[in-house]
DNA sequence: GTAAGTAGGCACCTTGTGGTAACTAGAAGA
DNA sequence: TCTTCTAGTTACCACAAGGTGCCTACTTAC
């Protein structure tokens, strides 16, 4: 991935960043907006680690989310082609969600963020402890 | 970075994802929340590519942002140790902002997102064109 | 007759967030 | 004396986003 680039090259980001910036016109903004809301990364992680899940199964693993928001998040992820929706009109209906190829492509990036986030948190904790003693 | 891991290992993400998820208690959530708001990645990108900048210089490069929001974004980034603030109490005052080491560490991740985002957008554009023809 | 179970839809309320405009300090310059 | 410059701060407004509760459709089971 991009990490193979020599570290002294200027960061590229998206072309929209070249001129006066207007939020919402940038591919990066689109991806960040997708990932950002609460729950979203957790949904992707669930589908990544546990495979396809039904609506109720996802909800059971996120007790605090409301149906409305879960539905909305899944619709957004579906619209972005990150998850696929499989609807079976049985009684009662069965709807299962799975990551698409594009969804799996996020794995590397998410892991990168996770690694950094955990390292920073560990550093902060260590600093706090040292400061408290 | 994390991309060196074999691709068949389960994604790790953060420990908070192991049990019932509560947003806001997760190091990943913290980082995403930081990056997410409008303008934020653009500010980081500016400081990355153009070096330390004064408040007015940043604002001049983002004509649509308000002082209030720029101040708030910079305060958040400063609180997260991503940018450092250098205040000189001259008249009129001079305040310059620069990326910290931690700020530069984001470069890889942001570039990863940027690469994916641009690839997806290109794919989508190609698909749209083909569909339209 | 009615409750349970699934996957939401819909209306309403509340909170957070961003935006706008006015205002500040203190010295320099006209 | 009055304006200008910098880097904000403050008060206020508006909209979007999240949350809550209630409702549906259809069948099976009690």
Residues A61-116: tens digit of each pLDDT: 998 899 999 999 999 999 999 999 999 999 899 999 999 999 999 999 888 988 99
pLDDT confidence of residue B30: 81
Query: How far does the CA of residue A102 sit from the closest CA of chain B (Å)?
Result: 8
Determine the pLDDT at residue A31: 86
Token couple for B45: 């990108």
What CA–CA distances, in Å, run from B113 to A91, A126, B35, B116? Answer: 41, 29, 12, 5
Is B69:B57 a contact under the CB 8 Å cutoff? Answer: no
> How far, in Å, is the CA of A87 from the C1' of nucleotide C19?
42
Where residue B133 falls among pLDDT bands split at 50, 70, 90?
confident
Task: Give residue-wise pLDDT tens across range A13-61.
Answer: 555 555 556 555 577 778 888 887 788 989 999 999 999 999 999 999 9
pLDDT for A119 equals 92
For residues B112-133, average pLDDT: 89
Please provide the DSSP assignment of A60-117 as one string.
Answer: HH-TTS-HHHHHHHHHHHHHTTSEEEEEE--SS-EEEEEE-HHHHHHHHHHHHHHHHH
| Closest by CA position to A94, among listed A57, A60, A130, A120 | A57
Say yes or no to pLDDT of B23 above 60: no
Asked whether the predicted pLDDT for residue B4 surpasses 50, the reply is no
pTM: 0.84
Chain B: residue nearest A38 by CA? B23
Cα-to-chain-centroid distance, residue B8: 28
- A78 and B CB contact within 8 Å: no
**Backbone torsions φ then ψ of B84, nearest 5 degrees:** -115, 150
Is the Cβ pair B2, A62 closer than 8 Å? no
Is pLDDT above 90 for B60? yes
CA neighbor of A14 nearest in space, from B56, B117, B39, B3? B117
Task: Report pLDDT for A88.
Answer: 95
Q: Is the pLDDT of residue B5 over 80?
A: no
Angle between helix axes B101-132 and B40-50 (nearest 10 degrees) is 110
Distance separating alpha carbons of residues B126 and B129, to the nearest angstrom: 5
**From B38, which residue of chain A is nearest by alpha-carbon distance?**
A23
Q: Average pLDDT for residues B28-43, to the nearest whole number?
A: 85
Q: With 0-12 CB in 10 A as exposed, 13-18 as middle and 19+ as buried, what is B45?
A: buried
Residue B29 has pLDDT above 60, yes or no: yes
Residues 58-77 of A with CB under 8 A from B: 61-64
Residue whose entry in the numeric block shows the structure tokens 């980082």 = B31
Percent of chain B with pLDDT over 70: 81
Least confident of A30-39, B12-21, B107-116, B124-133: B12-21
Q: Which tens digits make up the pLDDT trace of B75-113?
A: 999 999 999 999 999 999 999 999 999 999 999 988 898
Interface touch A27/B110, C-beta < 8 Å:
no
């Amino acid at each position: 991935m991009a990490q193979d680039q020599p570290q002294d090259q200027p960061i590229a980001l998206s072309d929209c960043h070249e001129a006066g910036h207007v939020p919402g016109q940038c591919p990066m903004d689109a991806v960040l907006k997708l990932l950002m809301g609460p729950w979203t990364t957790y949904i992707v992680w669930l589908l990544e680690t546990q495979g396809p899940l039904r609506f109720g199964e996802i909800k059971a693993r996120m007790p605090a989310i409301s149906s409305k928001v879960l539905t909305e998040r899944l619709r957004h992820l579906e619209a972005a082609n990150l998850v696929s929706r499989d609807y079976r009109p049985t009684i009662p209906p069965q709807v299962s969600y799975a990551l698409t190829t594009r969804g799996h492509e996020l794995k590397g990036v998410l892991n990168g963020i996770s690694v950094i986030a955990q390292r920073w948190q560990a550093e902060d904790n260590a600093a706090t402890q040292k400061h408290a003693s």
